[in-house]
């Protein structure tokens, strides 16, 4: 089983799929890449049992077969090689690999490729096609709002809801919520699933710079994403997602419009002086003036800034976790944002003041914190 491949091409593909690998595996073969040779096609696979990714490269060979090669050893070897063709000479009986380069020979001990976890098949699945940039933006705009609570696993992923009119992506950790809607991404039927955070992060990396449409197939257990020469299949989160629409307040008479970059900069500066446990920041709106302040009584630290804003409603003072606000405002692409509020003890809604893309709709919700008056 022999083949020749470009060092830089192989390293690029291995880096792309290597994001799924865990650092501590109880099963040794999960520390490996699976290399499957089918004459002129080399299929590379990586898996953590929950998620499996494959990528393929056109190569020079007349052989067939498979072998699992330790990922770290192979990646480190390739990373230190200049661009050149590498010959892989594989002894399937001994599961050993010899790499021949222009200046050296290297031997790696591998494992039986037949023992590598098989990519699960999808039976009775729903399928749809979505643009790669739409899917990338949906992940990018929502994943930061997912939770980390093991007792509520459904909140540790992104809820993907497809219908004949639009596609909606939702993430929440009970303190903040993001709902990202695309009216230009439609499915032939109504369907939904909850996608775990780790494969979403890997998928986001894989989609960077990709122009191909993504085919999404899923059933109640797994979802498969296919584009270009890449396939990613992952186990979905089992459970019922919370009724997110019920927590979004519909009546918000107080509307604050402020420059996004100025607001974000002020938040970052003032939050340095907030309590390190609560990260509490105070917004006080009077007329066209927004006062952002924070204090840490334990160390007698205090900071505040004044911004000019446009405000409709009664004068108001409300507290938020500064980290949540910074995350949300950082993930909006507009010049100005609108913060809609009803009362100091009710959730605030953050929206872009005007959407650059009419097919896109994004709503962010953040729960208030009790002020220390």
Going by pLDDT thresholds of 50, 70 and 90, the confidence category of residue 373 is low
pLDDT in tens, 4-16: 999 999 999 999 9
- Say if residue 233 is in the same domain as residue 253: no
Averaged confidence pLDDT in the chain: 93
User: Considering the domain boundaries, does residue 355 fall inside one?
Assistant: yes
User: Considering the domain boundaries, does residue 210 fall inside one?
Assistant: yes
- Say if residue 210 is in the same domain as residue 308: no
Phi, psi torsion values for 362, nearest 5 degrees: -130, 135
User: Considering the domain boundaries, does residue 91 fall inside one?
Assistant: yes
- Say if residue 219 is in the same domain as residue 285: no
- Say if residue 149 is in the same domain as residue 239: yes
Tell me the average pLDDT across 175-198.
93
Q: In angstroms, rounded to a whole number, what is the distance separating the alpha carbons of residues 161 and 179?
A: 11
- Say if residue 25 is in the same domain as residue 69: yes
Torsion angle in degrees (nearest 10) through CA of 273, 277, 278, 279: 40
pLDDT in tens, 234-282: 999 999 999 999 999 999 999 999 999 999 999 999 999 999 999 999 9
- Say if residue 194 is in the same domain as residue 256: no
- Say if residue 237 is in the same domain as residue 273: no
User: Considering the domain boundaries, does residue 172 fall inside one?
Assistant: no
pLDDT in tens, 39-76: 899 999 999 999 999 999 999 888 899 999 999 999 99
- Say if residue 227 is in the same domain as residue 289: no
The boundaries of the domain holding residue 189 are: 126-166+184-245
Domain end position, chosen among 230, 245, 260: 245
Tell me the average pLDDT across 229-235.
95
Please tell me what DSSP assigns to residue 23.
Answer: S
The total number of structural domains that make up the chain: 3
User: Considering the domain boundaries, does residue 372 fall inside one?
Assistant: no
Identify whether the C-beta of residue 53 lies closer than 8 Å to the C-beta of residue 234.
no
Runs of H (alpha helix) within the chain: 7-17, 71-79, 132-142, 197-207, 260-271, 322-330
Torsion angle in degrees (nearest 10) through CA of 143, 148, 153, 159: -10
pLDDT at residue 145 above 70?
Answer: yes
Domain end position, chosen among 245, 265, 288: 245
- Say if residue 104 is in the same domain as residue 137: no
The domain that holds 74 is classified in CATH as 3.10.150.10
- Say if residue 238 is in the same domain as residue 259: no
pLDDT at residue 25 above 90?
Answer: no
User: Considering the domain boundaries, does residue 195 fall inside one?
Assistant: yes
User: Considering the domain boundaries, does residue 174 fall inside one?
Assistant: no
Domain end position, chosen among 217, 245, 273: 245
- Say if residue 11 is in the same domain as residue 108: yes
- Say if residue 323 is in the same domain as residue 358: yes
User: Considering the domain boundaries, does residue 47 fall inside one?
Assistant: yes
Identify whether the C-beta of residue 166 lies closer than 8 Å to the C-beta of residue 159.
no
């Amino acid at each position: 089983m022999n083949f020749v491949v470009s060092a830089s091409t192989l390293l690029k593909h291995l880096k792309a799929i290597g994001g799924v690998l865990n650092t501590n595996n109880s099963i040794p073969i999960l520390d490996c890449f699976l290399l499957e040779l089918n004459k002129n096609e080399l299929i590379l696979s990586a898996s953590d049992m929950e998620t499996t990714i494959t990528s393929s490269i056109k190569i020079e060979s007349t052989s067939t077969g498979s072998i699992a090669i330790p990922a770290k050893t192979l990646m480190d070897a390739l990373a230190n090689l200049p661009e050149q063709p590498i010959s892989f000479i594989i002894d399937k009986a001994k599961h050993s690999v010899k790499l021949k380069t222009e200046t050296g020979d290297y031997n790696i001990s591998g494992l039986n490729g037949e023992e590598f976890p098989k990519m699960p098949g999808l039976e009775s699945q729903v399928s749809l096609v979505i643009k790669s940039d739409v899917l990338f933006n949906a992940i990018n705009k929502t994943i930061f709002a997912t939770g980390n609570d093991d007792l509520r696993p459904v909140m540790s992923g992104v809820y993907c809801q497809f219908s004949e009119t639009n596609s909606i992506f939702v993430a929440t950790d009970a303190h903040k919520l993001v709902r990202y809607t695309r009216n230009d991404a439609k499915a032939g039927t109504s369907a939904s699933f909850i996608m775990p955070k780790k494969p979403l992060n890997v998928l986001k990396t894989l989609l960077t710079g990709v122009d191909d449409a993504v085919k999404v197939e899923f059933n109640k257990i797994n979802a498969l994403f296919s584009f270009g020469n890449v396939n990613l299949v992952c186990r979905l989160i089992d459970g019922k997602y919370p009724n997110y629409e019920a927590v979004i307040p519909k009546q918000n008479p107080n509307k604050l419009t402020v420059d996004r970059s100025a607001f974000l900069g002020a938040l970052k500066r003032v939050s340095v002086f907030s309590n390190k446990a609560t990260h509490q920041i105070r917004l006080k709106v009077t007329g066209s003036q927004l006062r952002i302040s924070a204090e840490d009584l334990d160390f007698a630290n205090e900071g505040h800034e004044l911004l000019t804003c446009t405000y409709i409603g009664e004068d108001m003072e409300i507290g938020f976790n500064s980290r949540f606000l910074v995350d949300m405002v950082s993930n909006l692409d507009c010049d100005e944002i609108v913060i809609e509020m009803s009362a100091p003890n009710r959730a605030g809604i953050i929206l872009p003041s005007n959407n650059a893309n009419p097919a896109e709709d994004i709503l962010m919700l953040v729960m208030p914190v009790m002020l220390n008056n």
